[in-house]
Amino acid sequence: MGNSILQSSLTKKYVMALAGIFLITFLFVHMSINLLVLLPNTDWFNIAAHFMGTNILIKIFEVVLFGGFIIHIIYGLILQIQNWLARPNRYKVEGWSHTSPFSKFMIHTAVLIFVFLIIHLGDFYIKAKFLGDVGEVAIDGHMYHNLAALVIAKFQIPLFVFGYILALLFLGFHLQHGFQSAFQSLGLNHEKYTPFIKWLSSIVAIALVVGYTIIPLVIYFGNY
């Protein structure tokens, strides 16, 4: 019985790790498209956003993406609850000195990121996909949602810029531990390459935070 529970827990960690790596890959793709809004001609961003919203393969990927989010969130909560239940009587002073400062607050940063994700989807995805609450622009004789104008308008609001960057910092903390933890869950934990994975996790977290943060800062302080 105990062995089956252990196997079940390990399976959840494997699935959660793979879903996490998949989501990190998506974050880089999404960032590369978002950076197009900083080009002098924002038509490229609108064309790319239109392609992402209409291409059949991308639509299939979209379903997989939301599935990845749901799996990652559900399994993360299950594993966290299992950890809490496994330690019902906590010590007054926990051994946090041996724990990464990023790993201590994984569940907390996850909740904050989830709240941000809901707001972010409401501001952009829901408006464009279902409400049609986005203006249009003509490009080479075709009409496209003017998502660039929506993004620029949002990032000219100081409170929105502050909240966006704050959420990115939480995401960076979450990724810094989550990336290396995913490889450990997959059994790739060895003294030879674990230091490299830890270094790479920091690079991934910093690259994503800096890449996404550049967008609101350039728009807010630039001539848009």
> Percent of the chain beyond pLDDT 70?
77
What's the predicted TM-score (pTM) here? 0.76
pLDDT at 8: 58
Of 211, 146, 188, 215, which is closest to residue 18 (Cα–Cα)? Answer: 188
Instruction: Kindly report, residue by residue over 127-157, the tens digit of the pLDDT.
Output: 776 666 678 888 888 888 899 999 999 999 9
**Residue 89: inside a domain:** no
12 inside domain: yes
| CATH code for position 34 | 1.20.1300.10
The predicted structure's pLDDT at residue 92: 47
**Is residue 134 one of the residues assigned to a domain?**
yes
Q: Rounded CA gap, 107 and 111, in Å?
A: 6
Q: Is residue 93 part of a domain?
A: no
Taking a C-beta distance cutoff of 8 angstroms, is the pair 17, 186 a contact? Answer: yes
- Supply the pLDDT for residue 98: 41
Residue 22, C-beta contacts closer than 8 angstroms, at least 6 positions apart = 64, 65, 68
Number of domains in the chain: 1
Between 83 and 172, name the one with better pLDDT. 172
- Which residue segment(s) compose the domain that 146 sits in? 2-84+104-221
Instruction: Let me know if residue 29 belongs to a domain.
Output: yes
Provide mean pLDDT across the span 29-43.
Answer: 93
Of residues 220 and 121, the one with the higher pLDDT is 220
pLDDT at 110 over 60: yes
Q: Is residue 76 part of a domain?
A: yes
Assess if residue 193 is contained within a domain.
yes
Note whether residue 96 is domain-resident. Answer: no
pLDDT at site 24? 86
Can you tell me the distance from the alpha carbon of 129 to that of 39, in angstroms, rounded to the nearest whole number? 24
Mean pLDDT of the chain: 78
**3-class SS letters over the chain:** CHHHHHHHHHHHHHHHHHHHHHHHHHHHHHHHHHHHHHCCCCHHHHHHHHHHHHCHHHHHHHHHHHHHHHHHHHHHHHHHHHHHHHCCCCCCCCCHHHCCCCHHHHHHHHHHHHHHHHHHHHHHHHHHHHHCCCCEEEECCEEEECHHHHHHHHCCCHHHHHHHHHHHHHHHHHHHHHHHHHHHHCCCCCCCCHHHHHHHHHHHHHHHHHHHHHHHHHHHHCCC
